[in-house]
């Protein structure tokens, strides 16, 4: 429900009619969806309020308070988008991309993304940047992609902050700037973007573009490892094997090495480390890793 989340982040209306729209979103936030539907319908039909139209689209799209109906959702989104509502534009872009309320139409999706991005929609700017990176619907243009990522990153989108950080690291679409890359990864890591947590942790551990802090790096690697990131799992295993940034723990090092290895990471030094451990320590590490390894073997549901 990205549209609803974005709508709720801003005031619904101001001025003489502010009190009544506040009732609409107050009902929505409290889960009184049928009440929100009735109030929003009146606002949309009697006063032409575009935010009410977008909310009606969201209620129909998600089946909240009314039966789920993509066609009606698209109608309300279309009305709001035609009147300049960026949230409705983004919702229509997602509908066209996913083939809801009609066949998939990437061209139409891209047009709505461009319209929403022009009005400052952070997620639309990020998604549009990905299209410029991909280079299929539009000519590949890393400079334009970087501009869009910048807009989205400044609005606080952690995915855009991470992606723009990689652009600065590689000098793609922008001048190479490792310090700026690390700064952006740090922002995205605070927002719990896992890839950014890993990149920022690597920078912290090595002291690249940021003050060296092995303990903080170890904590971030552990956080990302618990979320299933194989690179973080491998790095954490190295830290626990060497006792840098965290106390040495051969059993935990073995556990995380086996998990990361099962996920495709190769580390011959850790293979050798585990092979040289006493049999009981190695067995304890294998036992600790087993629940993770069993979960990896399960077919996706």
CB 188 within 8 A of CB 159: yes
Other CB atoms within 10 Å distance of the CB of residue 163: 25
* Cα 189 versus chain centre, distance: 11
Rounded Cα distance, 274 and 136, in Å: 46
Q: How many Cα atoms within 13 Å fall on the side-chain side of residue 261? A: 18
Other CB atoms within 10 Å distance of the CB of residue 76: 25
Q: Among candidates 197, 294, 285, which has minimal Cα distance to 237?
A: 285
Rounded Cα distance, 198 and 86, in Å: 33
Over its length of 301 residues, how does the chain's per-residue pLDDT go in tens digits? 445 444 444 444 433 344 455 788 888 889 999 999 999 999 999 999 999 999 999 999 999 999 999 999 999 999 999 999 999 999 999 999 999 999 999 999 999 999 999 999 999 999 999 999 998 888 999 999 999 999 999 999 999 999 999 999 999 999 999 999 999 999 999 999 999 999 999 999 999 999 999 999 999 999 999 999 999 999 999 999 999 999 999 999 999 999 999 999 999 999 999 999 999 999 999 999 999 999 998 876 6
Rounded Cα distance, 129 and 149, in Å: 6
Tokens encoding 238? 């190295």
CB 202 within 8 A of CB 217: yes
* Residue 138 phi, psi dihedral angles, 5° rounding: -125, 155
């Amino acid at each position: 429900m990205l549209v609803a989340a974005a709508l709720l982040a801003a005031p619904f209306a101001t001025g003489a009619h502010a009190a009544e729209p506040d009732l609409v979103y107050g009902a929505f936030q409290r889960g009184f969806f049928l009440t929100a539907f009735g109030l929003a319908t009146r606002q949309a039909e009697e006063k032409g309020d575009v935010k009410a139209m977008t909310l009606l689209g969201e209620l129909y799209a998600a089946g909240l308070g009314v039966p789920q109906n993509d066609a009606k959702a698209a109608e309300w989104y279309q009305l709001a988008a035609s009147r300049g509502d960026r949230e409705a534009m983004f919702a229509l872009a997602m509908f066209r991309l996913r083939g809801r309320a009609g066949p998939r139409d990437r061209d139409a999706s891209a047009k709505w993304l461009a319209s929403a991005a022009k009005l400052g929609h952070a997620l639309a700017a990020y998604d549009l940047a990905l299209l410029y990176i991909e280079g299929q619907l539009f000519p590949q243009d890393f400079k334009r992609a970087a501009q869009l990522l910048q807009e989205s990153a400044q609005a606080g989108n952690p995915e855009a902050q991470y992606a723009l950080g990689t652009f600065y690291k590689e000098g793609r679409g922008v001048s190479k700037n490792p310090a700026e890359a690390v700064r952006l990864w740090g922002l995205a890591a605070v927002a719990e973007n896992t890839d950014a947590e890993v990149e920022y942790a690597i920078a912290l551990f090595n002291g690249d573009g940021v003050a060296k802090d092995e303990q903080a790096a170890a904590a971030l690697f552990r956080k990302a490892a618990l979320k299933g990131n194989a690179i973080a799992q491998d790095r954490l295993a190295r830290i626990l094997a060497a006792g840098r940034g965290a106390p040495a723990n051969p059993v935990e090092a073995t556990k995380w090495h086996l998990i990361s290895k099962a996920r495709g990471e190769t580390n011959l030094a850790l293979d050798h480390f585990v092979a040289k451990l006493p049999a009981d320590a190695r067995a304890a590490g294998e036992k600790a890793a087993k629940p993770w390894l069993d979960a990896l073997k399960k077919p996706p549901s």
